[in-house]
Amino acid sequence: MKITLRKPKLSDLKKFRNIFNDKEVAKQLSGYPYPLSLKEARKNLQNTINQNKKGNYYEFAIIYNKKFVGMIVLEKPSKNKKTFTLRYAIGRKYWNKGITTKAIKEIIKFGFTKLKLKKIVADNDEDNPASGKVLEKNQFKFIKKIKKKRRGNKRINVLFWELKK
C-alpha cells in the first residue's frame, strides 16, 4: 500500500470539505464544526496553508492511491521548537486500512530527521481507541490519563502519549 504526504493546496478544497463534513470525523476534532460549510472549510484550509508557510505547523495531505484521503500535522511547537504535537484525521470510508499508521510513520521520519525534533506528543480521547492504536503501533509510549472538558463541556478521559527520538 502506498501512502504519500504532500503540502495541502487550495485546489484540495472540495475533497477536504467532504472528509471533514462528517459527524463522526468532526466530533473527534476541535475547530471543525458539523455541518462544515464550504466557506468554513475554505477558511480552515487557507489557515492551514498560511500556518505551513509561517513554519508553525507542518501539515500534510495524505495521498492514498492518488486520492486525497485526509490530513496529518505536527503542530503547537514548544518554545525551543524541539517538541511538536501530532494530530491526524482521514475520511470515514478509508478507516481501518492501515493508512494513518503509515502516514504517522512518514511524519515521524520527517519530524526527527528534517526538523530535528527531540519529542513528538499526541493525545486521544478514551472513547476513540483507534486513535490510540495508531500511536501504539508507531511505538508511542502511554504517559498519563487525565479527565478533561471537551466536546461541548463533556468530561472525558484523555490519554497522553509521547515518542522520543
Residues in contact with ligand COA, counted by CB under 6 A, come to a total of 21
For residue 7, list its beta bridge partners: none
Preceding peptide of 35 cis, ω within 30°: yes
Q: Round to whole Å and give the CA distance between 90 and 152.
A: 22
* Residue 36 within binding range of ligand COA, rule CB under 6 A: no
Give the sign of the dihedral formed by CA 92, CA 60, CA 154, CA 124: positive
- Per CB under 6 A, the segment of 3-11, 77-85, 86-94, 113-121 that binds ligand COA is 86-94
* Residue 28 within binding range of ligand COA, rule CB under 6 A: yes
Distance of closest approach, residue 36 Cβ to ligand COA, in angstroms: 13
Judged by beta carbon, residue 89 or residue 117, the one nearer ligand COA is 89
Q: Round to whole Å and give the CA distance between 62 and 60.
A: 6
Cell reading at 114: 528534517
Q: Which residues bind ligand COA (CB under 6 A)?
A: 25, 28-29, 87-90, 95-101, 124, 128-131, 133-134
